[in-house]
Chains A and B, each alone.
Chain A
Amino acid sequence: MDLNRTDDWNCTESDRRLSDYLERVTTPEETAAFSAHIEQCPDCAALVARVGEVIRLLRAEEPAEVPPQLYAKIISATSGARQPTHGWRRWFAPVAIAWQPRFAMGAITIAASFLIVFHAAGTSRNPQNMATLNPLNLFREANRQAHLTYAHTAKFVDDLRLVYEIQSRFEPDQDEGTGPATEPPAQTPSPNQQPGQSQPRSQTIPRPSSRITRSRGLYAFAEAQAAEALALEVPVPDPFGPIATPDNSPVTRSHS
């Protein structure tokens, strides 16, 4: 068929070349023949308009929304992994364990431990600069910390030894005095005790008061107590107990 002749272009040919015509892939001669035909044929003209509209509608269609769970379902059904692969996390993909909560908790614990150790070692008190990183300074600081630690330990042991020494000297007097502290107070009420009144403090507190220890310092108090005890060989009056009699014999320790 000679397509250059308009009168040879019939409705069948229009149907067959409709998409080519609308997509502009026909030759100029074919286009001219097609156009001439549809000017004379209202049915073909209407069909061209309808098909043109169909193509326009189809191409304007928005893609259907993918169900949100579908991606996870596919991964679960195939590789089984669920780690996201995009963004900065992909650099940590080979160490997938790093994303587990227990690993994070462990890492935090380790970091906190190091922080406490460094703080206790005194490094955080000094301003950090390049001089701090000098090996000589590091050695000096470590040496200083070691000596300080040794001195503190030695002092603590000395204090402790002194306290135990004083305590051991009080032991004979405490045998009766410490008993009621662990027993129910109402078991053997004192004849002088009024209803509702608690046990006299002197019976239960032969040892140094913690309040005094705190206010004056353990060392100073222990030293004073030791000096007094060694010199007089008498029990120390309790500052919270009844006032001692003028002859300096403590009433609180006289009755058993």
Chain B
Amino acid sequence: MTRRIALAILFSAWAVVLLALVLIYFVTRQTVVAELDESIIARAMALPRLAGVSQQGGVGVLPRGDRYVIRNELGQVIARPEGRLDNHAAPVVTNRKFVSMADGGRLRSITLSFALPASDTQPEHTATIVYSAPADAVDGLLQRMAILLGGVGVGGGLLIGAVAWGVSRAALRPLRLTAEVIGTIDERKLDRRVDAAALPSELRPMAERLNEMLARLENDFAQRKQFLADTAHELRTPVAAILTHLEVTLRRPREAAVLAEALRTSLSDVQLLRRLVDALLEQVRSDRPMTAAQMTRIDVSALLEQCATLADSLASAKDVRIVRTFAPGIRAYTHPVALQSMVTNLLANAVEYSPAGSSVELNCRLADGQIELHVRDNGPGIPPDVLPQIFQPFYRADGSHSSKDGHLGLGLFLVQSHAKAMGGRCDVQSTVGSGTTFSVLLPSAPPAAASNAAAKQEKANAAASMAEGSKVVMGS
């Protein structure tokens, strides 16, 4: 912006200078031509006097290149006027012009009319002198002046342009360098940063925001890359187990019992793989923000009861009780499939780490426009140093690196992923020796702008969401 303003000012100044140069030219021309005219008139005025002096009817010596014609009233060319002119009324200039000659020269030609008084031989009459003098000197002067002024104008313009270009280029150098840096950034070079300090102060905040954005992207990309690498590992290991087992088994003839055992083992591995693939797909789906079309107003209490009933069988096998401490009839706007997945995962997790005879509490309430969900167990608790890691994908409490005992290590990761996608979050509080509480906070109403459209769609979506809700990853 500054650059454009500076350029506009510079070029306006140049235009003013050009105008001045043109003015100077015309004023000078006017003056020079007027002087020439005066001299021509003076010479023309001298003619009759010369004529009077010369008895031969000649006009004496004219300045070089000068010529004249004298005509009488009738337009007839006469040799010379009768009588002396200089004593009579001043001549009237009736015409002045430049005349181009056949030989390329130019003449300034002035027509003067004289009123001649009556004399002894003539009655009162008028005569006209057309006096011409070479205009070469004036032309030459004006030409040199035009060249000089034109040169000054054009040269000044070029100089201004060059200076403006140079100055703006120098001023824009950091911007250009910044643009070059940005141009080189792709997903493998997200560690590059713009040198904010080298930029003009007005651009610095922009560069700093840009660097912050790059840092976020870099972090996000690194996480995704890690997740992908972890996923590859998680998928490859069971595949390797199946492949190796089948290959080794098939290398020799085996008894039917051995073959059956190989099939059983492979089947359970394939089932594990299927659960892993399902969980990964669910994660990929949950990685995007929920759209209004997927959300609907539901009876949250009923959904929680459903999840708790599902987990009851798992719990009773471990002599753990699931205690419901939520009121019936809590209604809220949410994503039923994701909510069910979160609650199921949290309950399965809590039951898993609960000692026999203890209970798991499932609590829910609406507060400040949010669904507050708590799953509390009386298990051994989680040491503070591993607490930040438990939401990481493929984290397993036993420190193992593979899903050998059916733990995918994706449960809590999915819970958090879902919560974030719904605009909420999942937190954990744990005391070693007394238990762990997972808290999920979710918005309970649609965003204001989307609420109308959402209300319209609600009924239509309810059916679709329920159909989708039939598949939930459990106990991962």
* A, B bound: no
Give the B-binding residues of A (Cβ under 8 A): none
